Amino acid sequence: MTGRSTTGEAPRRVLLGISGGIAAYKVCSVISSLAKEGLAVRVVLTQQGQAFIPPLTVATLARHPAYTDEQFWQASQGRPLHIELGEWAELFVIAPLSANTLGKLAHGLADNLLTNTVLASTCPVLLAPAMNTDMWQQPSVQRNWQQVLQDDRYHAIAPGSGVLACDRVGTGRMAEPADILSHIHSLLHTGGKRDLAGQQLLISTGSTREFLDPVRFIGNPASGKMGVALAQAALHRGASVTLVHGPMEEALKARLGGIQTVEVTTAAQMHQAMLAHLAPADWIVMAAAVADVKPTTQAATKLTKADLPEALPLAPVPDIVADLAQRRSPHQKLVGFAAQTGDILPPAMDKLRRKGLDAIVANPVDVAGSGFGGDRNQAILLTKTGDKIVIPPCTKLDMAHQIFEALGKPATQNP
């Protein structure tokens, strides 16, 4: 996702509000990343927020002067500042969201520039709370949180657990910048719609490993990034998501807030996990790159070079997607992936028909800027009804949204 609109006419517009809390330092990287991507960023600081981050810092990162209560209460020319900012914003992000600002939002109170601008805007609002564990767990704070979320305008990144600035270990830690950025891009893409609300998605991602001995295995370079993007996009569109994933980097796992995860290693383990979570799923998306074969034997200790066989006997692993196709209920939508080289369409079409899928995403892994390991991808989406949708090079998150949008539309019945 780039900072420019789909028409290329103007940058996307994000208004970011910073209330009081030490987590404000994390928002600096969010502001910087958005500005570097070409988005137009404006920042509003509360008086308490300025105690942690000075206006000059965010102004420098945003490439635009910061707004504070000082400007709000000053007499000025033209229209009121909070009206101008509220109408300007495509998306309003409040991070960190303090208990004080949360209480004001819950009850429609407005006594500073930030809260007045919220009431003067109509765009989606993304909230990222941060506070001490005891503060977060107060019944009054939880009531305010639930009350705010009853308004469809508000989208939430609930706080995570960890070591807080007060040395307490518990819930209250603000979401990481990468997670906030993903949610921002999703909301800019969807405009805040929750077209997957009430849906349960079961997604697999990453690679599987089939071990010859404790240090050697048959595997592939799949990072899990595409499946994580699918899980994030689905979550941001209102779905409940279960992600079954192979080994992944810790930084990627950190992006999975709000998503139920099941970590596996082998194809057999992934097979079992997918079957265990199959029944309640409305969508099953098999984005994992599963090993096709495994060694027939696995040594308990590391084999010496002299002990390695000249020819490695192999056995097939479970065909997970074919088994899911056999076991699923009629209402369940099953989507596969096909990582291919060369002409990607014939093998993908064969897999679509042979395995009884509703759709398959064929993506080239031999083209620069797509496939394994990167943050970008491209694909051709094929459906069992004959639809062929080209997804040009884009971020994996953007591709995930395009997949859900294409598959959520009525099918085209081709002869």
Phi-psi region of 116 (alpha: psi -120 to 50; beta: other; left: phi over 0): alpha
Structure tokens that stand for 305 in this block: 């070079």
* Residue 28 among the catalytic residues: no
* Whether 108 contacts 144, CB under 8 Å: no
Is the CB of residue 17 less than 8 Å from the CB of residue 85?
no
Residue type at 9 in one-letter notation: E
Active-site pick, 28, 123, 166, 394? 166
Contacts 24+ apart (CB under 8 A), 400-405: 400/226, 400/229, 400/230, 400/232, 400/233, 400/234, 401/186, 401/189, 401/190, 401/233, 401/237, 403/230, 403/335, 403/361, 404/195, 404/196, 404/233, 404/234, 404/237
**What are the tokens at 149?**
């979320």
Length of the chain: 415
Please check whether residue 408 is in contact with residue 11, taking contact to mean a CB–CB distance below 8 angstroms: no
Phi, psi of 117 (to 5 degrees): -70, -35
* Active site amino acids: 166
